[in-house]
Chain A
Amino acid sequence: MESVEGEAGNFTVTVRERPRYVDMDKCIACGICAERCPRKVKDEYNQGLAQRKAIYLQYAQAVPLKYVIDSDNCIYFKKKGRCRACEKYCPAGAIDFTQREKIHKIKVGSVVLSTGFKSFNPSGYDIYGYDSLPNVITSMEFERILSSSGPFHGHLQRPSDNEPPQKIAWLQCIGSRDLHAGCHEYCSSVCCMYAIKEAIIAKEHAGNDLDTAIFFMDMRTPGKGFDRYYDRAGKEAGVRFIRSRVHSIERAGGPGSDDLKIIYVNKDGRRIEEVFNLVVLSTGIEISEEMRKLAQDLGIELDIHGFAKTSSFTPVATSRPGIFACGAFAGPKDIPQSVMESSAASSACSVLLADSRNTLTQEKTYPPEDPIIYEEPRIGVFVCHCGINIGGVVDVPAVRDYAETLPNVVYVADNMFTCSQDTQGLIRDAVKKNRLNRVVVAACTPRTHEPLFQETIRDGGLNPYLFEFANIRDQDAWVHQKEPEKATEKAKDMVRMSVTKAALLEPIEPLLLENRHEALIIGGGAAGMTAALDLADQGFKTFIVEQNQKLGGHAKHVKRTWKGEDGRAFLSDLIGRVQAHKQIEVLLDAEISHVSGFIGNFKTTVMTGSAKREIEHGIIILAVGAEPLKPDEYLYGQNERVMKWHELEELFEKEPERLEQTEAIAFIQCVGSREPERPYCSKFCCTSSLQQSIDFKTRKPDLNVYILYRDIRAYGQREQLYKKARELGIIFIRYSLDEKPLVERTLIDGKDKLKITVRDQILGIPVELRVDYLNLATAIIPKGDEKLAKILKVPLNEDGFFLEAHMKLRPVDFATDGIFVCGLAHYPKPLEESIVQAKAAAARAASVLIKDSVEVEPTISVVDQGKCIGCGLCEISCPFGAIHLVRVTGQGYRAENISALCKGCGICAAACPQKAIDMKHFRDRQILAMIEAGGSR
């Protein structure tokens, strides 16, 4: 992207497209060009640990899967007109040396910058020896070493001699939390988790004899499920965690040895010398020079660290209206948070461009299905080479010829890439010409490619469920590479099974459901209101159901965000906008008593006092929040000098003279968090205590402030707060779980005080703190949402927080369609992350609400009510509430499927003692016939 001209809603973007020198329509990604290309180049994707050719695929999963010529290295471009090997050997005639750079002018309403990060380069940081010691590598290099598509095909080896290492060390905070020139003050947020993951995976690759040690300063695993992972890594996988920063790395032993010597101090302060075979530097996240320049060209403000400057309240908006940022460009963050931000950015775009929605969309139409062709099976079989993926192991022509001998098969073909665009045309033509009414593709995996082929035969006039996949790559060619003959026999077996099933396939009518356009949001805190505004601003009628008598939730306690913005002003503005919005209706003092229906068609009963209200709506967003734990330790509730969270701050606000009279304050972190009964981190307590302590200390510089902590988890740019606090002279004292601080009441000079005893871990001696107040950062706990979870039929995790469908891929969705989650109900998080998640939930919800009808997967269960005895086992077993008993006059109860809720998992069919339930597309007779065919070679 070269430039963006114009304004929000009406931009003209200039994009420079470099020539690929390969015609994308013709390239079938067979790989022959790269095989023949004589020019070898360092492979950037493998971090320079392997080589690629001058014509190459950036990586195996690249989309689109099309080759590209690197003109900086290609012989044709270097020695004008020479070589041309790729052109000569390309079977598709796809090489095109005449391509030139193209400039595109694109009209858009908004722009999203999701340009990601650059990994810190430790070159030149001499104490770690990255430039001189071959077995000191970066975490990115180690990722490639672990990868099956990496330089060593997933075998754990070290670079110097390709020997498998027996001992690996990880060094945390390389380039992060470091004031040296070229390094960064901030924490990169993701390195602790990826180091643990790498250690665990390395052990999985090499077996448990592999010794892994992670050298760290603070272990920062504050995300959902992260602390459990950290615990398991230590206790179950045996990863060693060593709280010590290594001074430097030296070559161990004499010349010829590539081993590495590390000296560190253990927790008793003793110097320990250890030799490792490989050292991984956990390098941090930074913004590249190119990106800084682009930001400047676009007029986007960056913060002091080079990340996009955003506000906590509008976390995806850059300084230029209409241009949004998400992911690591807007600050160091992990995958779940990046994915949520991407959805939030799309919501921000949707709000901005709501008026022009659907003005450029075209509806796809299909030819009508011809009912006559269903009469007698006429099957076409297409066997795929998948380049050399299948063809290199399985004798594809033999499988094709074998398929031709099978009953009902009237057409066979083999293709280099069955998924390529031109092959789709061939399949369509074959269907029409040969009056095929069933199609079998023997290829990669249905996981990624079944929808494509279903679409293709639909274009050819067939019902999409008349398609069957034989998975001869993932389940055959890839796993039997060393036994090609047996793999070929297995491929034949798999094709025979698929053909047998295909003959029994039935067309299935699509399930189209009417869709409502109203949203229901449960919870009127910052998250709920943010989601409501994003939806209402797009024109969707939105209901907020709040159990309290006013809106606001816990955000009212956020005096300032960690960046210093005024939290209360934001909240009152938010409440004002919600209350004034014509499309939002707020129900206060209200509770959900019943929910029925499904995506696009929910019916909810809301009780307001004794009044009952029925609301019909298309989606639900859960934003019910969480609350701080009231602890029963450290004298909380027994001594008024012991407080929690914002209580002390609010006391000083009400009675400022109290702060004046105060000499010393202590904070205790992790109260009730990261304990055996609650093994999760509450994520934002460190930030909160840092903020408060800085505020107190700034207002009263001679105040003594002590923070008793286990790990300071000032993740990301919050590290600045930790540094500021230390600069101000706030004393941090680490305690361990097996030696928690002791809090007692005491009298000093007749004054009531608190005495806190804690062992200083550095000196190994006890410290007695005499303080006026103690503030506890207690765990954030769920509100006890079991009832609501049951009403909505959505799951809670082991800690009682709502459980999303997938942590990374679907972070605000539930497995049940049409219900979304955001805010503290999902997991403890700071305000700006709740806002991001709320906007993400709004984006996901809007994608449902815009439709007049939704098409759902029709491969659902069917009940033969003649066989059903009404026992109800299916209803008990169904995890989605998709099957229930209904009264049938004269027969008692009979099971009935609720098609919109059914996921087609088949549990009901398995549970039914009468075999009265069958799954469409996976009917017993289809599966049994397949199994039988499998055994009848």
Chain B
Amino acid sequence: MAEQAIKLGGKRKSIFIDKVKKLLPEGGNLNLCLTCGACSSGCPATGLENMDPRKFLRMAALGLDEELTSTPWIWMCTMCYRCVYACPMKIDIPALVYAARASWPREKRPKGLVGSCDMALRNMSRSAMGTPPEDFAFVVGDVLEEYREAQPEFKEMKAPIDKKGAHFFLNQNSREPVTEPDEMVPLWKILHLVGADWTYGSKGWAAENYCMFLADDDSWKKIIETSIDAAKELGCKVFLNTE
């Protein structure tokens, strides 16, 4: 951060924080900061890049827009909302972080996030792993078969895909079918035991959404839309988000 003095005063200019405020309900309370430090005491990213949530918001309040939109710290925020949870003024600092992310050119944003988002856009699974619908269907069928045989008490268990008229539309983080397929089963068992009427979708089954973390609004929306459309098409009543 620049050590030279911050120059304020004179005629009032519109600054970054003003724009963000307009986007948020109650302006995200962004003006209400008491500089108490509760956010920074609880933030896992405090101290990284010599930054913390309180400093970040303070910079925004004082109009240090260039520093605000260039610090790599914004990509270290996990969007966990611990800061908002304890803030006596309930200030939506993550929304400000998000807006700062969105101000970066897409190609300059962290490669991992960009790659994962792009991968999800490749096929209708919307999986950050790039898993196509047919691979997902195969893994689900295979694992189900295995458990029905190995555990007779679950021989009636189902894991339907694209079941029309199911009550619940369930999504699934794609890391599990790809790397830890057994991890899907406990939830199936619960649903089976309570007699839930549910289904996966072959489209939009992947629950993770790296485009959101990337602050790529259009792609974020596209991913959500795929899932919602799939649920609607099947006539499901409830969207169960497991992520």
Residues of chain A having any CB pair with chain B under 8 Å: 127, 173, 177-180, 183, 217-218, 243-248, 263-265, 269-271, 663-664, 702-704, 706, 723, 726-729, 731-732, 734, 748, 753, 757, 760-763, 765-771
Contact = CB atoms under 8 A, between A and B. Distances in A.
B52 interface: yes
Interface of B: 1-12, 29, 31-42, 46-47, 52, 54-55, 58-59, 61-62, 82, 85-86, 88-90
Contacts of B1: 763, 765
Contact of B58 (A263, A664, A763): A763
Contact of A771 (B9, B33, B88, B90): B9
7 contacts: A178-B88, A264-B37, A664-B9, A703-B12, A704-B11, A769-B8, A771-B9
A246 B41 contact: yes
A244 B41 contact: yes
Contacts of B41: 244-247, 263-265, 271
B238 to A, nearest CB: 27
Nearest to A723: B32
Contacts of A763: 1, 6, 55, 58-59, 62
Contacts of A179: 29, 32, 88-90
Contacts of B58: 760, 762-763
A218 B88 CA distance: 13
A769 B55 contact: no
Contact of A247 (B5, B39, B59, B62): B39
Contacts of A217: 34, 36, 88
Q: What are the 8 A-B residue pairs with the smallest beta carbon separation, nearest first?
A: A247-B42, A770-B9, A245-B36, A247-B41, A245-B38, A178-B88, A664-B9, A766-B5
Contacts of B34: 177, 217-218, 245
Given A245-B37, A263-B41, A704 B6 contact: no
A731 B85 CA distance: 24
Nearest to B91: A179
Contacts of A218: 34
B8 A767 contact: yes
B5 A767 contact: yes
A247 B82 contact: yes
A704 B39 contact: no
B36 A767 contact: no
Contacts of A728: 31
Contacts of A271: 40-41, 46-47
A173 B35 contact: no
Nearest to B44: A271
A704 B40 contact: no
A762 B35 contact: yes
Given A269-B52, A763-B1, A767-B6, A263 B42 contact: yes
Given A245-B36, A748-B10, A726 B31 contact: yes
Given A663-B10, A762-B35, A768-B7, 6 more contacts: A243-B37, A247-B38, A263-B42, A663-B11, A704-B9, A768-B6
Contact of B7 (A173, A706, A723, A770): A770
Given A245-B38, A264-B37, A763-B1, A269 B55 contact: yes
B40 A269 contact: yes
Contacts of A766: 5-6
A765 B5 contact: yes
Contact of A664 (B10, B47, B52): B10
A748 B38 CA distance: 39
A753 B40 CA distance: 37
B96 to A, nearest CB: 15
B2 A765 contact: yes
Nearest to A217: B36
Contacts of A726: 31-33
A663 B88 contact: no
Contacts of A732: 35
A127 B39 CA distance: 13
Contacts of A723: 32
A144 to B, nearest CB: 27
A216 to B, nearest CB: 9
A663 B47 CA distance: 36
A180 B90 contact: yes
Given A263-B41, A663-B10, A762 B54 contact: yes
Given A245-B41, A246-B38, A269-B55, A704 B8 contact: yes
Instruction: Tell which of A179, A245, A726, A728 has the most Cβ of chain B within 10 Å.
Output: A245
Nearest to B9: A770
Contact of A767 (B12, B62, B82, B90): B62
B40 A768 contact: no
A263 B43 CA distance: 10
Contacts of B61: 731
Contacts of B47: 269-271
A727 B86 contact: no
A729 B31 CA distance: 6
Contacts of A245: 34, 36-38, 41, 86, 88
A183 B3 CA distance: 39
A469 B150 CA distance: 93
A734 B88 contact: no
A703 to B, nearest CB: 7
Contact of A265 (B6, B52, B82): B52
Nearest to B85: A127
Given A269-B54, A271-B41, A731-B62, A247 B86 contact: yes
Nearest to B64: A763
A706 B10 CA distance: 12
Given A263-B41, A271-B41, A663-B10, A765 B3 contact: yes
Instruction: Tell which of A218, A244, A247, A703 has the most Cβ of chain B within 10 Å.
Output: A247
Given A269-B52, A727-B31, A762-B54, A768 B8 contact: yes
Contacts of A248: 42, 86
A771 B10 CA distance: 6
A170 B11 CA distance: 43
Nearest to A712: B34
A766 B29 CA distance: 26
A702 B11 CA distance: 8
Nearest to A181: B90
A768 B9 CA distance: 8
A180 B42 contact: no
Instruction: Tell which of B29, B35, B41 has the most Cβ of chain A within 10 Å.
Output: B41
A763 B10 CA distance: 21
Instruction: Tell which of B29, B35, B86 has the most Cβ of chain A within 10 Å.
Output: B35
A771 B33 CA distance: 23
A5 to B, nearest CB: 44
Contacts of A177: 34, 88
B123 to A, nearest CB: 42
A613 to B, nearest CB: 56
A767 B40 CA distance: 22
A244 B5 contact: no
A767 B59 CA distance: 12
A706 B62 CA distance: 11
A62 B46 CA distance: 52
B62 A760 contact: yes
B121 to A, nearest CB: 37
A245 to B, nearest CB: 4
A217 B87 CA distance: 12
B84 to A, nearest CB: 11
B88 A180 contact: yes
Nearest to B12: A702
Nearest to B50: A269
B94 to A, nearest CB: 15
Contacts of A263: 41-42
Contacts of B35: 732, 734, 761-762
B20 to A, nearest CB: 13
Contacts of B36: 217, 244-245
A264 B38 CA distance: 7
Instruction: Tell which of A177, A183, A703, A731 has the most Cβ of chain B within 10 Å.
Output: A731
Contacts of B29: 179
B17 to A, nearest CB: 9
